[in-house]
Structure 1
Amino acid sequence: MRPQATMIVDSHAHVSPCWYEPVETLLHHMDRHGVETAVLTQMIGQVDNGYQQDCVSRYGERFLSVVWVDAQAPEAGATVERLAYAGAAGVRLRPGACLPDGTLPDVWRAAQQCGLPVSCVGSAEAFAAPAFAGLLAALPEITVVLEHLGGSSAPVDTDEALALRQAVFSLARLPNVMLKLPGMGELMPRSPTALRDGEPFGGRSHPLVEQALVAFGARRLMWGSDFPVVSAREGYGNALKFAMQSLAGQPAQALDDIFCRNALRVFRER
């Protein structure tokens, strides 16, 4: 019998009363597939984080809230501090760079001062930029989690694209950097015979999963469904199932880290 994670935490899900799906829809999928907790990751551009905060208030430990702020607003740093005081588990930011004088941008400085982890959304090109590596090196005390396996938000089929992903993985040299592992449907095209033989990806897993594990280790990966966007790919339950299958050879401790402990350690136990 293959090892299983003892508890499942979804590190990357979106909810909204006006776009995507409300939290009750996510709860249905979580309950159906044995997911105990989800990190609600605010949509890009949504500066009103009230709904996520309300979800945390209503459902207790089922949810954690990673907020979004307008990084260009004059009061951005103060907003991060206010949201941290109100109970935010983290802040979602795009990749940045130190200012010309070497100081940190306000939102990154505020995240550091508040001890907030950063869920970082961007392209592989942005993650691989030397200026971003410099910013990360200047923030050794906070955890920065790169979303979508470091910008692998679509299947790639060229040597150049794969090399770019490898450049992102070189950030593993910085101990405060982690990766979110998505469902396989985000990384691979569906097999033409998927509906006939029940093997959506032809029985394969993406080599980037193994490469990420080698580069970062199980203690710096965390699974995230990307709900409800995942519903247009393999679906919520399959995003969990096939991610686990791709790591079936790993020991139980590694699975617990990737599918539970790492997300709780970063976003709840900060």
Structure 2
Amino acid sequence: MQLIDAHQHYWRVDRGDYAWLRDAPAALQRDFLPADLETRRSAAGVAGSVLVQAAATEAETRYLFELARADRSILGVVGWVDFEAPDVAARIRALARDGGDLLLGLRPMAQDHPDPDWLARPALDAAFDCLEEQDLAFDALVRPPQLPALQRRLRRERELRVVLDHAGKPDIAHGRFDDWARPIRELAELPGLCCKFSGLLTELAPGMPAAALDPYVEHLFACFGTERLLWGSDWPVLTLRDSYAHWLELARALAQRHAPHALERIFSRNALAFYRPRRAPDFPASAGAPA
């Protein structure tokens, strides 16, 4: 089976713009670079990945372009720009120019914004207009309190390609289901929205079994079906809970339970269709031809 990782990160701590790392677990406060993942990714049979920003700076996005130019397993970059900047359109166009074919989308770190309605603010309209103009995807990094604002935004952005990162980060640790499930169901009624099947293990409380994911995963499959779910590792954040190989194994088992005939869509084809990378993944011959 062909495998594409729709969501992973690299960072180099001495760059100094990863503000969130100061309060992150010590295990993440070190460099995570392509050489650290290459063996694991190859052993898992993952042919390529989408590299997602981890710092709220344009400089980090340009650093990710450098990594991608040196490593063809990186299919493209989801970068960052200040969505409220007065010259946001010029900034987005400059990133797209500097990245060449490597810029696939943008992700403001909305989950960290103190206003849960931030995504619906008119001040962001110019940024979203430019995303559509440049044919770039939007990665929605939000938590459950921000889902209603995302829904209001997407009702106005019917042509925008949008993917919900980490299933909207449900509070699995505290067993909160309904306040996540209801807005997810409503959001999924918008046909342009996809959802990443990623980041769920790190929402578990310490010692909580992986079986606690079951109702959340069942809801995702019920809402998004098999055409709009994209598997991602969220490596290296994943390492706080599990290994790259084991999360892939667990995710495949969960998908097999709900959609045994659609694994290649969830683990490869949906990511390629959504992000539209210009760089073709180097699938091993054993993976077969695209279906």
Q: Smaller-chain TM-score range?
A: 0.7 to 0.9
Instruction: Please state if 1:225 is matched with 2:228.
Output: no
Between the aligned partners of 2:10 and 2:221, the Cα distance in structure 1 is 29
Alignment correspondent of 1:168:
183
Q: How does 1:104-115 map to 2 (within 5 A)?
A: 105-115=125-135
Instruction: Please state if 1:26 is matched with 2:56.
Output: no
Unaligned runs of 5+ in 1: 1-5, 193-199
Alignment correspondent of 1:96:
119
Q: How does 1:112-123 map to 2 (within 5 A)?
A: 112-123=132-143
Q: How does 1:124-203 map to 2 (within 5 A)?
A: 124-129=144-149, 132-152=150-170, 154-158=171-175, 161-169=176-184, 170-182=186-198, 184-189=200-205, 191=207, 201=210
Instruction: Please state if 1:260 is matched with 2:268.
Output: yes
Contact in 2 for aligned 1:97/1:134 (Cα 8 Å): yes
3-state SS, counterpart of residue 166 of structure 1: helix
Contact in 1 for aligned 2:233/2:248 (Cα 8 Å): yes
Between the aligned partners of 1:268 and 1:218, the Cα distance in structure 2 is 18
Between the aligned partners of 2:206 and 2:226, the Cα distance in structure 1 is 26
Unaligned runs of 5+ in 2: 14-29, 111-117, 279-291
1:65 aligned to which of 77, 81, 84: 77
- TM-aligned CA deviation for residue 228 of structure 1: 0.5
Contact in 1 for aligned 2:218/2:258 (Cα 8 Å): no
Which sits farther off after the overlay, 140-149 or 56-65? 56-65
Between the aligned partners of 2:190 and 2:64, the Cα distance in structure 1 is 31
- TM-aligned CA deviation for residue 64 of structure 1: 1.4
Q: Percent identity?
A: 27
Task: Indicate how the Cα distance of structure 1 residues 57 and 253 shifts in structure 2: closer, same or farther if over 3 A, else same.
Answer: farther
Q: Which amino acid aligns with 1:109?
A: D
- TM-aligned CA deviation for residue 178 of structure 1: 1.2
Between the aligned partners of 1:123 and 1:83, the Cα distance in structure 2 is 27
Q: Which amino acid aligns with 1:255?
A: L
Question: For residues 211-231 of structure 1, what are the alpha-carbon distances to aligned partners after superposition, in whole Å with 9 as ceiling and x for unaligned?
Answer: 111111111111111111111
- TM-aligned CA deviation for residue 56 of structure 1: 2.0
Count of aligned positions:
249
Alignment correspondent of 2:53:
42
Contact in 2 for aligned 1:183/1:243 (Cα 8 Å): no
Task: Indicate how the Cα distance of structure 1 residues 168 and 235 shifts in structure 2: closer, same or farther if over 3 A, else same.
Answer: farther
Task: Indicate how the Cα distance of structure 1 residues 51 and 181 shifts in structure 2: closer, same or farther if over 3 A, else same.
Answer: same
Contact in 1 for aligned 2:169/2:199 (Cα 8 Å): no
TM-score with structure 1 length normalisation? 0.83
Please tell me the root mean square deviation across aligned C-alpha atoms, in Å.
Answer: 2.3
Between the aligned partners of 2:52 and 2:80, the Cα distance in structure 1 is 8
